[in-house]
Structure 1
Amino acid sequence: MKQEFSSGSILHDRYKVERVIGQGGYGSILLAEDLRLSGRFCAVKQVSYDPNYTSTMLEDARDQFMREATVLARLDHPNLPKVSDFFSIDDNDFLVMDYIPGDDLRAVIAKAEANKQFLNEADVIDWAMQIGDALSYLHSQNPAILHRDIKPSNIKVTPAGVVKLVDFGLVKLLAPGEVTITIMQGQGTALYSPLEQYGGDSNMMDGRADIYAFGSTLYHLLTNTPPVNVRDRFLDPSNLVPPREINPAISPRVEDAILWAMELHPNERPRNVKTFLKALTGESTSSLRHLAGKVNFREYQGLDRTEMILLYIAGGLTFFSLLLTLIRNI
Structure 2
Amino acid sequence: MKSSSTYPSQVIARSDTPEALCYSILDILGEGGSGVTYRALDTKNQQLVALKALSLHQIDDWKAIELFEREAKILSTLDRDGIPKYLDYFTTDLNGDRYFYIVQELAPGKNLLEWMRSGWRVSEAEVKTIAIQILEILIYLHRHYPPIVHRDLKPSNIIKTEDGKIFLVDFGAVQQTYHDTFLRGSTVVGTYGYMAPEQFRGQAVPATDLYGLGATILHLLTHRSPAEIPQDGLRLNFRDRLQVSSSFADWLERMLEPDVGSRFSSSTKALEVLKTPPKSKSKPKFSTLDRTLIGMTGLMVLAAIFWTLDRSKYTLLSMAGFISNEPFKAMSERPSVDRLKYYLDRGFNVNTLDINRRSLMYHAIQNDLPDVVVFLIDRGADISDSANLIQQQEDKLKSIRESKKIAEEMLDKGYVANRGKLKQENEERLRHEEEIISNTSINNIAYYAIVKNRIAVLKVLIDRGVKIDRIYPDENRLSFLHLASVHQDGEIVKLLLDRGVDPNIKDSFGCTPLHTAIVRNLMPYAPRLSSYINSINAANDSISKQSVVYLASAGAKSNTTCRLNNEGYRYADTQDRSTAIPSLIRSKYRLYYPQDITDRTTPANLLLLFDITDINFDAYPQSK
Q: Do the two structures share a fold, i.e. TM-score over 0.5? A: yes
Cα deviation digits, residues 71-92 of structure 1 (max 9, x gap) = 3112111111111111112433
Amino acid of the structure 1 residue aligned with 2:198? E
SS in 2 for 1:210: helix
Aligned to 2:99: 92
SS in 2 for 1:45: strand
Aligned to 2:363: none
Q: Which has the higher contact order (CA 8 A, sep 6+)?
A: 1
Distance in 1 of aligned mates of 2:125 and 2:36: 34
Asked if 1:163 corresponds to 2:160, the answer is no
Aligned to 1:258: 252
SS in 2 for 1:175: helix
Asked if 1:240 corresponds to 2:237, the answer is yes
Distance in 2 of aligned mates of 1:188 and 1:207: 14
Aligned to 1:221: 220
Cα deviation digits, residues 125-160 of structure 1 (max 9, x gap) = 111111111111111111211111111111111234
* Counterparts of residues 153-192 of structure 1 (less than 5 Å): 153-176=156-179, 177-179=181-183, 187-192=189-194
Aligned to 1:211: 210
Identify, as 1 or 2, the structure richer in strand: 1
2:271 equivalent among 271, 277, 291: 277
Distance in 1 of aligned mates of 2:182 and 2:7: 34
1:81 equivalent among 84, 103, 121: 84
> Are 1:27 and 1:47, in contact at CA under 8 Å, matched by a contact in 2?
yes
Q: Figure out how many residues of one structure are paired with residues of the other and give that number.
A: 271
SS in 1 for 2:74: helix
Aligned to 2:141: 138
Aligned to 1:308: none
Distance in 2 of aligned mates of 1:61 and 1:8: 24
Cα deviation digits, residues 251-290 of structure 1 (max 9, x gap) = 11111011101011111111111111222221669xxxxx
Amino acid of the structure 1 residue aligned with 2:250? D
Asked if 1:20 corresponds to 2:32, the answer is no
Distance in 1 of aligned mates of 2:59 and 2:125: 47
1:180 deviates by 8.9
* Counterparts of residues 1-16 of structure 1 (less than 5 Å): 5=7, 8-12=10-14, 13-16=21-24
Distance in 2 of aligned mates of 1:66 and 1:109: 32
1:42 deviates by 0.6
> Are 1:42 and 1:96, in contact at CA under 8 Å, matched by a contact in 2?
yes
> Are 2:112 and 2:158, in contact at CA under 8 Å, matched by a contact in 1?
yes
Amino acid of the structure 1 residue aligned with 2:24? K
1:110 deviates by 3.0
Amino acid of the structure 1 residue aligned with 2:80? H
2:48 equivalent among 41, 56, 62: 41
Distance in 2 of aligned mates of 1:111 and 1:64: 32
Amino acid of the structure 1 residue aligned with 2:241? I
Residues 236 and 186 (structure 1), Cα distance of their counterparts in 2 relative to 1, 3 Å cut: closer
> Are 1:7 and 1:18, in contact at CA under 8 Å, matched by a contact in 2?
no
Larger Rg: 2
Q: Which 4+ runs in 1 deviate beyond 4 A?
A: 1-4, 49-52, 60-65, 326-330
Residues 107 and 64 (structure 1), Cα distance of their counterparts in 2 relative to 1, 3 Å cut: closer
Distance in 2 of aligned mates of 1:52 and 1:24: 13
SS in 1 for 2:194: coil
Q: Gaps spanning 5+ residues in structure 1: where? A: 286-323
Aligned to 1:318: none
> Are 1:105 and 1:155, in contact at CA under 8 Å, matched by a contact in 2?
yes
* Cα RMSD after superposing both structures: 3.1
Asked if 1:30 corresponds to 2:59, the answer is no
> Are 1:68 and 1:173, in contact at CA under 8 Å, matched by a contact in 2?
no
Distance in 2 of aligned mates of 1:92 and 1:181: 28
Amino acid of the structure 1 residue aligned with 2:238? V
Aligned to 1:110: 117
Residues 14 and 178 (structure 1), Cα distance of their counterparts in 2 relative to 1, 3 Å cut: farther
> Are 2:92 and 2:100, in contact at CA under 8 Å, matched by a contact in 1?
yes
SS in 2 for 1:198: helix
Distance in 1 of aligned mates of 2:213 and 2:117: 19
SS in 2 for 1:219: helix
SS in 1 for 2:224: coil
> Are 2:68 and 2:172, in contact at CA under 8 Å, matched by a contact in 1?
no
Distance in 1 of aligned mates of 2:67 and 2:234: 39
Amino acid of the structure 2 residue aligned with 1:197? Q
1:229 deviates by 6.2
Residues 48 and 175 (structure 1), Cα distance of their counterparts in 2 relative to 1, 3 Å cut: farther
Distance in 2 of aligned mates of 1:151 and 1:64: 18
Identical positions, percent: 29
